[in-house]
Structure 1
Amino acid sequence: MTGQDRPRPVFDPALGTETRALLAAAPERLVAACRPAPGPPRLRAATVVARLVWIPAFAVFYGVLPGGWLRVCLLASLDDDELLGGAMRWGRLPVLAMMLTPALQILLLMLGQIEAAAVLAAVSFTGWVTGALRHVREPAAARAAREHHGSYLLPADFDRPAAGLLVRAQRAVDAVLGSRAHGAGLLDDIHNAVVLPSQEWAIAGALAEHSRLRRERVAQQPERLSPRVRALLEPQDRAMEASVRSVTGRIEALEAYARRAAEADDAYHESRVLQGLPEQNARYRDLLAGTVGDDMAGAEIRGMAEDARRAETALRERVAGAIRAGHDLALPSERPGVSPRRAR
């Protein structure tokens, strides 16, 4: 599946804005809904022992024996790839500071600045302890990905037919939300920021279910079934076809709305041009008055004013058409008089 045919992750609108942003910022933490939910993190016994030894050892080396070579030996002796790898990932500057701190402590002791050396040792030790304990806590993105597993859908949740339909839906949503008419507030009556994410999630949920069912059917190896058993599966096939048609119709409605939004964009551009017409008309009026007769000048000016009125009417009609198309997209839970239900 190419990048253009690959859908982006879809998040349940019921998730909070901060949670969605946290998950979107850490795609490597997300686990497809078609796979088992990740379990809570577990520390290896070697990691726990290494940390128990690591922290008090650094307390001694920072406070009693501030020697850079001792610290290098300690890092080399710890058989804990996570700790050593974490130190390397911090970058060259922090590691360089780690190596130079003991030398600075020795210099301060030689100069008789015992209190300054003690403060430096305490600050350095606190930093190292904080770094050690930081790995004990589960990262916020990993915890969110585990707790909200199933409330987001990834490309792996969709087979090729489903992915193609979802990409169409997402392109239509992007076209509407990226339109100048939406940005200018001309389509705000539809609450695009609410309706469109709900539509995308509902479509994605249906397509993910289609993908699961089709994968299960392939696993059944239908070519090895007898005609009588295959006949029993035909109602399932008809149900699948009906559901695919329904979802495809919803996607086509999204695409129709995107086309109406594009038309409204064109009309909005024309309206912006019309805003400068009065000043331009005055300049053209002076031009015509100086080159042709007054009667001809008046007719030309009246013609330009009539064109402006027609363009303004076209803008209102196109925006109204886009708004009507947008209202048809609302899920039952988003229509007046209908109790809210969670999109699936």
Structure 2
Amino acid sequence: MNEESRPRPVLDPEIPAPDRALLTGEPGRLVAACAPAPPRARVSAATAAARLVWIPAFAFFYGVLPGGWLRLFFLASLDQDELLGGAERWGRRPVLAMMLTPALQILLILLGQPEAALALAAASFTGWAIGALRYVREPAAARAAREHHGSYLLPADFDRPAARLLTRAQRAIDAVLGSRAHAAGLLDDVNNAVVLPRQEWSIAVALAEHTRLRRERSAQQPERLSARVRALLEPQDRALSLSVGSVTRRIEALESYARRAGEADDAFHESQVLQDLPGQNARYRDLLASTVGDAMAGAEIHGMAEDARRAETALRERITVALRAGHELTVPAEPER
């Protein structure tokens, strides 16, 4: 499958936004729906042991050992980017606690409360040691890829005919969402941000099912079957052909919508070009008045204004046509898998 006909992964719009971010952020963890679900990911024993050693050691250094002024000096010497990076990796609360604990311990000792300082040290050490357990758990992206297996589809889930159709659908969707008319809110009545991802997912699910059925039929080696058995399979072939035709028509409707959005883009561009026409007319009027008769100048300016009105009318008409094409998009019930 060449790159031109290779579709991008498709995610079920119902996947929660945080998990969608994890899945798209680490696509290498995704496993095709046609393959077995990925097992629970675990870090190696050596990595787990290393983390369980150095994190408590780090906690001991910051939470128990004396020399708070040295630790404060070390924290002050840290580059701000390093601190921010630590906050991203560990969370802001642990990093904030790491920064405040030495100061609080010193303050408690100066106030004559060594027992409270010791209790704070014990709590600090315990908290950092417990935090080590977070780093031996399954990575969040791996967990999302496992839990949502089957709710995302990869190029491997589509054979060549299905991949070509899905690529066509994705190009049409990208054209609509990338249009200036959409960016300017002229197509908001269709709610593209909601409708088009549902369309993409529904089409992808149907095409993945077509692929599974074709692969199953190929595995049956029809050329080795008798004419009588092949005749029994013909209704299945017709049903598949009808479904492919139905999905193809839906993709053609998407492509029609994309073309209408492109036409609306052209009209929008024209309207933007002519938006400054009233202010420019005065300059052109002065120019014409200085070179031709007033009557001819008035006629030319009147013609410019008429052109601007026609451009605005064309924009409204093309937006109406585009919206009509968008409203004709429907998402049928998802086929049973």
Bigger CA drift: 46-55 or 306-315? 46-55
Distance 1:126 1:262 in 2: 61
- TM-score, structure 1 length as denominator? 0.73
Correspondence for 1:18: 18
Alignment coverage as a number of residue pairs: 282
Distance 1:260 1:48 in 2: 56
Distance 2:305 2:47 in 1: 81
Correspondence for 2:299: 299
Correspondence for 1:248: 248
Correspondence for 2:173: 173
Q: 1:9 to 1:296 in 2, by over 3 A?
A: same
Post-superposition Cα deviations, 1:66-121, rounded to whole Å, max 9, x if no partner, equal xxxxxxxxxxxxxxxxxxxxxxxxxxxxxxxxxxxxxxxxxxxxxxxxxxxxxxxx
Q: 1:20 to 1:43 in 2, by over 3 A?
A: closer
Distance 2:51 2:245 in 1: 61
Post-superposition Cα deviations, 1:5-41, rounded to whole Å, max 9, x if no partner, equal 1110101111122221211111111111111112323
Distance 1:254 1:49 in 2: 50
Correspondence for 2:161: 161
Distance 1:52 1:279 in 2: 69
Q: 1:308 to 1:29 in 2, by over 3 A?
A: same
Query: Is this contact kept in 1: 2:43–2:137, CA < 8 A?
Result: no
Correspondence for 1:32: 32
Q: Percent identity?
A: 72
Bigger CA drift: 165-174 or 4-13? 4-13
Are 1:191 and 2:199 an aligned pair? Answer: no
Distance 2:51 2:255 in 1: 59
- TM-score, structure 2 length as denominator? 0.75
Distance 2:53 2:22 in 1: 32
Unpaired segments ≥5 residues, structure 1: 65-121, 333-340
Correspondence for 1:98: none
Query: Is this contact kept in 2: 1:32–1:156, CA < 8 A?
Result: yes
Are 1:319 and 2:282 an aligned pair? Answer: no
User: 1:282 is matched by which residue type in structure 2?
Assistant: A
Distance 1:16 1:49 in 2: 29
Distance 1:174 1:243 in 2: 24
Query: Is this contact kept in 1: 2:281–2:301, CA < 8 A?
Result: yes
User: 2:3 is paired with a residue of what secondary structure?
Assistant: coil
Distance 1:286 1:43 in 2: 78
Post-superposition Cα deviations, 1:112-134, rounded to whole Å, max 9, x if no partner, equal xxxxxxxxxx9xx9999689645
Distance 2:329 2:139 in 1: 38
Correspondence for 2:8: 8
Distance 2:239 2:334 in 1: 23
Correspondence for 1:139: 139
Post-superposition Cα deviations, 1:150-205, rounded to whole Å, max 9, x if no partner, equal 11101110011100100000000000000000000000000000110000000000
